[in-house]
Structure 1
């Protein structure tokens, strides 16, 4: 049942959520633009204490879903409840709890990290003394304290993302939503960002939207897999892998005219080439392999994800 609140009770509701495990319920959520349906009847239950990975190909509806969860857009139908309180009817409940990390962190190039964070703290309504204390603490925590008078325009992409995370964490939000935050980062910076989000998930509700499976493979406790406007899978990464066992095969490339895969077939995402000490192997995601001598191998999360998207794996 959806409760209705006046202003004072909304503030108290946000405080109550702050003191116990949080439940974010996506309930029959639908979104359309005119006759174009983005998604329909999405349902999911999310809790804090573990990172949730929102996976899906481009155009699946991830960005639109995040716009609704961050109160930037209202759905056509359905609701999002925070411990029973409708954030669609009462968006301030979410705003009081939310930290949002966009794909491209907005910044002022001529400010230092400290100056930028103090500016963001002011926009969040924090008092100057509290803002300085939190800014200093976050700069230390995210290994930015030694940047001194260095301007943001001279930061690497990974450093700017860390500044973005610091800005997200100002005023101690309990829900953190990150939208494709690793785009454009080098491998070392991606691992650093992934580790930070994984650490934050211990005591926050962290939702990471991405189409890069490796960004959530090591740290996600739950996966929401969205395809063509529907949740195709909800569960743990290990369970998705378990369902994929028996559908991933490996066999060597042959040079004979009867080569098991054509060049066109190698372009399919369900097939990949792997270099082994004994030569190049083909890994194929299929119910039945093309080559009778193929051996079953344990799937990776990426292979399980691709198999689910392509309908090879029954969900």
Structure 2
């Protein structure tokens, strides 16, 4: 079984510490890196994709430093960065064949692989369309297709659904789920629904540090008796918002149902409810969410 080991990885940009001694192990399955913008997710993704080197620490693939593996590591890797350069005037098929040639894939093998991937990402009908004329969701599908050209064992996707509509986000999640068997898939996001039913473990990053790594259910159990609902009059809401982390407000006729986080029962009328990943995000990232 393939294993990535991250050992005390830190990254410094001038006086700014972007990553602070990240240590963890990753095996086959889908991992969701969850954090607000600026939490260090993209910096870590770039290091794991061998695009950037850590200032200190190292990443091992089956016990070998990826910095020393060079092409052997890249042959295992499929990477979809947050901002991917697509050649607007290339057709979809021409672009994928071009990327395949850069990856050193033999022409006939590349042609067969491109046709296979176009079917997987549902772009066969658009294969003669210029990339610049595709929708945002279709461009993301081209991105994941190019990441899969070399049949990688490690797939890294950074903020893949930013800017996509809900239908495209669901399609993208289903695609990642279908290709995750016997691979390490690393998905960086700040959109909770992207990973809610997909990730076997969540890695929560905050201000360059890894503060939690666990199965989603384990993390949610940590919020037991910390999530509450209460039915209040509209004039009570501002007081509740000043004292607690309020996640939602739902109209109930002349009253408002407030969902909030609190380490203690915030009001005699409040009832504890089952936490969800939106609550988890608010619990860890309420300051960043406000920004």
Query: TM over 0.5: same fold?
Result: yes
Q: Quick one: distance in 1 between partners of 2:240 and 2:87?
A: 48
Give the corresponding residue for 2:269.
293
Within the candidate set 138, 145, 154, 1:166 is matched to 145
1:187 and 2:166 correspond: yes
Q: How is 1:4-23 mapped onto 2 (pairs within 5 angstroms)?
A: 21-23=1-3
Kept after mapping to 1: 8 A contact 2:75/2:150: no
| Alignment check: 8 A CA contact 1:70 1:94 kept | no
TM-score (norm 2): 0.92
CA distance in 1, matches of 2:251, 2:171: 27
Further displaced range: 78-87 or 141-150: 141-150
Q: How does 1:108-119 map to 2 (within 5 A)?
A: 108-119=87-98
Query: What is the rounded CA distance, in whole Å, between the counterparts of 1:114 and 1:45 in structure 2?
Result: 36
> How much does 1:271 deviate?
3.5
Q: Which runs of 4+ in 1 moved over 6 A?
A: none
Given candidates 216, 220, 226, the residue that maps to 1:241 is 220
1:265 pairs with 2:242: yes
Q: Does 1:55 align with 2:27?
A: no
- Contact 2:204/2:210 (<8 A) preserved: yes
Quote the Cα distance in structure 1 between the aligned partners of 2:105 and 2:175. 24
1:12 aligned partner: none
Q: Which residue is 2:22 aligned to?
A: 42
The answer for unaligned runs of 5 or more in structure 1 is: 1-20
CA contact (8 A) 1:24 1:83 kept: yes
Q: Does the aligned pair in 2 maintain the 1:270–1:303 contact within 8 Å?
A: no
Q: List per-residue Cα deviations over 1:78-113 (Å, max 9, x = no partner).
A: 111111001133333321211001223321222221
Number of aligned residue pairs? 287
Q: 1:170 to 1:255 in 2, by over 3 A?
A: closer
| 2:133 corresponds to 1:133 | no
User: Residue 157 of structure 1 is aligned with which of 116, 131, 136?
Assistant: 136
CA-CA distance at 1:309 after TM superposition: 4.1
* Aligned partners of 2:76 and 2:152 also within 8 Å: yes
**Gap runs ≥5 in structure 2:** none
